[in-house]
Amino acid sequence: MGLLRIMMPPKLQLLAVVAFAVAMLFLENQIQKLEESRSKLERAIARHEVREIEQRHTMDGPRQDAALDAEEDMVIIYNRVPKTASTSFTNIAYDLCAKNKYHVLHINTTKNNPVMSLQDQVRFVKNITSWKEMKPGFYHGHVSYLDFTKFGVKRKPIYINVIRDPIERLVSYYYFLRFGDDYRPGLRRRKQGDKKTFDECVAEGGSDCAPEKLWLQIPFFCGHSSECWNVGSRWAMDQAKYNLINEYFLVGVTEELEDFIMLLEAALPRFFRGATELYRTGKKSHLRKTTEKKLPTKQTIAKLQQSDIWKMENEFYEFALEQFQFIRAHAVREKDGDLYILAQNFFYEKIYPKSS
Active-site residue set: 140, 142
The residues, any chain, with a CB within 8 Å of residue 197's CB and separated by 6 or more, are 294
**How far are the Cα atoms of 98, 197, 337 from residue 128, in angstroms, in the given order?**
20, 42, 41
Half-sphere exposure of 247 (CA within 13 A, CB side): 22
Neighbours of 242 (CB within 10 A): 12
User: Dmax over Cα atoms in the chain, in whole Å?
Assistant: 112
The residues, any chain, with a CB within 8 Å of residue 208's CB and separated by 6 or more, are 174, 177, 191, 201
The residues, any chain, with a CB within 8 Å of residue 341's CB and separated by 6 or more, are 262, 263, 265, 266, 331, 332
For the chain, what is the radius of gyration of the CA atoms? 28
Q: At what angle do helices 308-329 and 166-179 cross, to 10 degrees?
A: 110
Of the candidates 313, 294, 299, the one whose C-alpha atom is nearest the C-alpha of residue 167 is 313
